[in-house]
Structure 1
Amino acid sequence: MGNRNRNTAILLIAAGLFILIEHYINFFTIAALLFIALGVYKIRSSPDKTGYVLLGVGVVLLFSGHFTFILSVVLISLGLFYMKSKQAHRDDSYTQKQTILESFKRDKEPWELKNTSMWNVVGEIYMDLSLVMLDQKETTIVLQGVFGDVDIIVPEFLGVSVNASALVGQINAGNEKETGLVNKVNWQSPNYETSDQKVKLIVSYVVGDIDIKMV
């Protein structure tokens, strides 16, 4: 499984890069990305709907006449996902899932958390880790994709390590915050090293709003 995933990852990344080179990024693509970045910023900083309008304009610009750009981003993202999943999990005993649209919510009743890798083009993820049932000392979760809205609630008794990145958007993890372009946050809960149960979160989106809160 490891060699197959690695070869698939290399093929997807190469295909995505080839499409980008063949159909170079033009002014309208850059304008669309700027609209998306400004929209994400407005959504986080202002209560009005201006941010959603800007974000919508940016997405429409990208999809109308820029299908090859979107396709290349999706292929590269999926290829990187395969590579990161293999690196993050020590063996093949983990769940791997790829979807176009994903709405994953676990916030109302106890649920079981195992080693998992999830990739989606558009994803809405809400996890309340205060309700999880863990069957091992350390659990690794990989969340990756193109557009993502991720909210994770972390209880104080759980040791958590966060490696989060978003090319465009915002990341909040513990007392760390990054907003704008090329965001990256590495953070550990104070009790991570001494905790009996640990969760390692690896979250990466091209455009993302990532919020990880301690309660």
Structure 2
Amino acid sequence: MQTQNNRYIGLAIIVIGVIILINSLQIHAFVSRFLLPVIFVAIGLHFYRHHHRLLAGILFGLAIILFFKINIFGLIVAGLFIYFGYNMLKKEDPDDEYQNGNEKTFHTHQSVGNVKKSFIGEVHYTHARFDLEDLTIQQGIGDVKIDLTKAIIKDGETVIIVNGWVGDIDIYVPYDLNVSVDASVSFGDLKVLGQSEGGVNRNISIRTAQYEESSKKVKLILSLFIGDIDVRYL
């Protein structure tokens, strides 16, 4: 995990370094604003076709930054202010928590149960048996992998929500588990229990035949900006 984190941080540093280098060289405006973005998009499409979604997303981002002449440092500072301000607004008042008892609540309909957040890195539930509970994963850059064949599933409906920017989502489902899947991606491919979609703004909604009457079932709500979503039987 630490190696993966270092990899993503290293990629982010390289991106910032490339932007600084281009600005420092004072390249002709036509080259920096039009020619380089076209080159980055072409290279990004190559990586995208070969399933290197992370590298493709970084190159597309570079092209957008150069074409629109975005101030990357201002963007980073603005993002930090928005992030910390959002977290402050989201914190519960102690009195409200006391009134709600010991149950922790979340004030957005997009989150359920435990919430796991990661800006850069990977989230894996694949190495050992684990108790499956309602879970929300909010991922910036990186992959999410959940192996439900290793999960101890409680009675009733368990809801898993995964929201990501750039990366892949892989969910492995046992054949005897009833699931409902709502998967969407802005740029990428979807493979959900035998159904496939690819391209821009794709969505697949599917549920197993016995889902409603099943005593144990899992609802998956998955969304990505750039990347692939793969839900398969294992």
- How far off is 1:27 after superposition? 7.5
- Contact 1:174-1:189 at 8 Å conserved across structures: no
State the shift of 1:177 in Å. Answer: 1.0
Greater RCO, CA 8 A, separation 6+: 1
Distance 1:169 1:133, change over 3 A: same
**Which consecutive residues of structure 2, in runs of 5 or more, have no partner in the other structure?**
1-32, 88-106
Cα distance 1:212–1:129, how it changes in 2: closer, same or farther (>3 A)? same
Say if 1:52 and 1:149 are closer, same or farther in 2 by CA, change over 3 A: closer
CA deviations on 1:98-139 (whole Å, 9 max, x unpaired) are 221231112232111111111121131111101101233110
Where does the alignment leave 5 or more consecutive residues of structure 1 unmatched? 1-25
Match of 1:177 among 196, 199, 202: 196
Do residues 131 (structure 1) and 153 (structure 2) align? no
CA–CA separation in structure 2 for the residues paired with 1:33 and 1:115: 40
Q: Is the 8 A contact 1:116 1:142 kept in 2?
A: yes
Matched, 1:199 2:218: yes
Measure the CA separation in 1 of the matches of 2:196 and 2:154: 31
| Residue 110 (structure 2) aligned to one of 85, 88, 91 | 85
For 2:197 and 2:139, the matched residues in 1 are separated by: 22
CA contact (8 A) 1:35 1:55 kept: no
For 1:109, which of 99, 122, 128 is the aligned residue? 128
2-structure distance, mates of 1:177, 1:40: 20
Distance 1:195 1:168, change over 3 A: same
Change (3 A) 1:100 1:53: closer
Change (3 A) 1:189 1:56: same
RMSD, aligned CA? 3.7
Pairs within 5 Å for 1:150-161: 150-161=169-180
Number of equivalences: 174
Q: 1:159 to 1:105 in 2, by over 3 A?
A: same
Inter-CA distance 63–169: structure 2 relative to 1 (3 Å threshold): same
Secondary structure of 2:159's counterpart equals strand
Amino acid at match of 2:212: E
Q: Which has the higher strand share?
A: 1
Query: In the TM superposition, what are the counterparts of 1:1-215 in structure 2 within 5 Å?
Result: 38-39=45-46, 41-44=48-51, 54-62=56-64, 65-66=69-70, 67=72, 68=75, 83-86=108-111, 89=112, 94-215=113-234
TM-score by length of 1: 0.66
2: CA distance, partners of 1:147 / 1:55: 7
Please tell me whether the aligned partners of residues 31 and 58 of structure 1 are also in contact (alpha carbons under 8 angstroms). no
